[in-house]
Amino acid sequence: MGGLDLKAYAGLFKTYTELRVQENRTIQISFVKGSNIANIRSGTSGVSARAYQNGSWGFASSPELTPDAIAAVVKEATENALFLDSRERKAEPPLPATVVSSENDFSTKKPRLGQKELLDFLRQVDDEIARRYPGLASRSVILRCLDMEKTLLTSDGSYSHSMIPRSQIHVVLSVEKDGTPVELMESYGGLGQFEDVFESPSSLWEGIERQYQHLMKKSEGVFAEAGVKTCVLDAELAGILAHEAIGHTCEADLVMGGSVAGDWIGKEVASPLVTLVDFANTALGQTCPVPVYVDDEGTRAEDVVIIEKGVLKSFLHNKESARRFGAEPKGNARAFLFSDEPLIRMRNTGILPGTSKLEDMIASVDDGYYLIKPSNGQADLTSEFMFGVTLGYEIKGGKLGRAIKDTTISGVAFDMLKTVSMVSNEMKWLSHGMCGKKQPIPVGMGGPAIKCQVTIGGR
């Protein structure tokens, strides 16, 4: 991508236009039971333009990065906007102008490792798991790296360049219990290129040992008792709750689609213990898992306080919805590939920590569950949510009991958040989130542990 001066193409803009050059680079290496089943690198790059005409948008993209291809993309996007405007005739006013200049590059300064070094690293991890835990029925070790590099120019004059990488190792351990497999996955890593995230295979041993101990307990696990229970949701579950059940209902496009949150600005929707923020790039003094400094509409990214002490405060906007709602855009318009148009997306969504200690929260539950790891999650315009839970324990008389088998929790988020009675003082981030909404996009989800009432599946 180096060497392209997008500003040289500004003269081609006939109407409000965003011109973006982007490259996504990925690495995937997988070992399953010692077999190297994937050994892949990919790169996807190209240029796109999006043009706006009286409320209608046109978009075009090309994988070619030649001057002719860039000019053709701007022309096609403009023509698409004009075509749609000629049919729709919305006569909408211009978009709010934003001007910002930004450079944020999280590339490693260390020498880059080659494929052989990465494979050797993974193989060492896999070999060590096989050596330490011979009773496992199966094991998988999967490396996934994604570098997203973007350069953006808008006709308002915004210009930004960013390189945001993330590197993750997913470890799946499986044992057989009474002839059936029991599995537990854990993800390690986060923001940064491999060299900055993983120092040595041995840096993973402690986490994998903890994962194995949980798996052993889970293999003896029992079905959760179905029904409404007092639960302590650990940070990862609180994070996915913040993202799925609250964040999505507060995206302006979903608000326009009928989200229940639409009528509740300024109203109490949660316990006063709950403050929920979509962080742009920095939370509590730390860089977030997916830092966004300028979005793909050229708007400076700022934090959005969605819920403050239980009261619904704000929605998430792009420029167009901000104009409709009379709000300020705060950098939530993001695209995944060069060929994708920006959509309203979360960045790093989390509940702010409180003052309770996790052990006190568990001790305060007479009969309930401590739920630790989510699998997937889905939510709804009604804020009814569902999350898979792959790791949890009974709480009996204030003490942790038996592990439980995989289960699901559900509820109506805005009802459930009113039942939050304790919030822990530790904030943790889930760094491997990928949100799906027409396009995938990396997101961060975080939070403290929360104590609440929730419906748990089971038998």
Partner 1 sequence: MNDPTRSAEYGVNALLKAGADRAQCHVTRIEKHELNVMSGEMSLLRTTFDTQVKLIAIKDGKKGSTTINKSDPDSVVKGAREALAIAEAAVPDEANDIAEGQPAARFVSGSESPDRDNMHYRMKELLETARERYPALLMLQAFLDFTREDTYVVNSNGVDFSAVKGVYHCTAVFSAKEDGKVSSFNGTSVAMRDLGVPIIECGSTGRLMRETTEQIHTRPVPGKFTGDVIIAPDCLGDMLAFLDDSIRDRALISGTSVYKDSLNQLIASPLLSLHARPVSGEICDGYFITSDGYSAQNSTIVDRGFLRTFLLSLYGSRKTGRTRAVNDGGAYVVDPGETPLDEMVKSVDRGVLLVRFSGGYPNENGDFSGVAKNSYFIENGQVKYPISETMISGNLAECYKNIRAVSRECVNYGYAVFPWVAVSGVTISGK
Of the two residues 88 and 366, which places its CB atom closer to partner 1 in the complex? 88
> From the CB of 450, what's the least distance to partner 1, in Å?
19
Residues in a beta bridge with 311: 268, 308
Contact call for residues 306 and 251 (beta carbons, < 8 A): no
**Residue closer to partner 1, measured from CB, 67 or 181:** 181
> Looking at beta carbons only, is 183 or 308 nearer to partner 1?
183
Q: Which residues contact 408 (CB under 8 A, 6 or more apart)?
A: 386, 387, 388, 389, 456, 457
Residue 277 backbone dihedrals phi, psi, to 5 degrees: -130, 140
Alpha helices per DSSP H over 63-188: 67-88, 115-132
Shortest distance, position 207 Cβ to partner 1, whole Å: 21
Distance CA 263, CA 269 (A): 11
Considering beta carbons, is residue 368 or 411 the nearer one to partner 1?
A: 411
* Shortest CB 425 distance to partner 1, Å: 29
User: With respect to partner 1, which residue has the nearer C-beta, 115 or 282?
Assistant: 115
Q: Are 68 and 61 in contact (CB under 8 A)?
A: no
Beta carbon nearer to partner 1, 238 or 423: 238
| Amino acid identity for residue 414 in this structure | F
Rounded least distance, CB 216 to partner 1, Å: 16
Q: Report the amino acid identity of residue 181.
A: P
CA distance 280 to 302: 5
Check if the beta carbon of residue 32 is closer than 8 Å to that of residue 50.
Answer: no
- Smallest distance, partner 1 to C-beta of residue 343, A: 9
Query: What is the closest distance, in whole angstroms, from the C-beta atom of residue 419 to partner 1 in the complex?
Result: 14
Alpha carbon separation from 440 to 143, 334, 336, 342, 434 (Å, rounded): 19, 10, 6, 11, 6
Beta bridge partners of 22: 46, 150
Q: CB of 162: closest distance to partner 1 in angstroms?
A: 20
Is 169 in contact with 198 (CB distance < 8 Å)? Answer: yes
Evaluated on CA atoms 92, 94, 96, 98, the torsion sign reads positive
Shortest distance, position 65 Cβ to partner 1, whole Å: 9
Cβ closer to partner 1: 7 or 267? Answer: 267
DSSP assigned state of 398: T
| Shorter beta-carbon distance to partner 1: residue 7 or 83 | 83
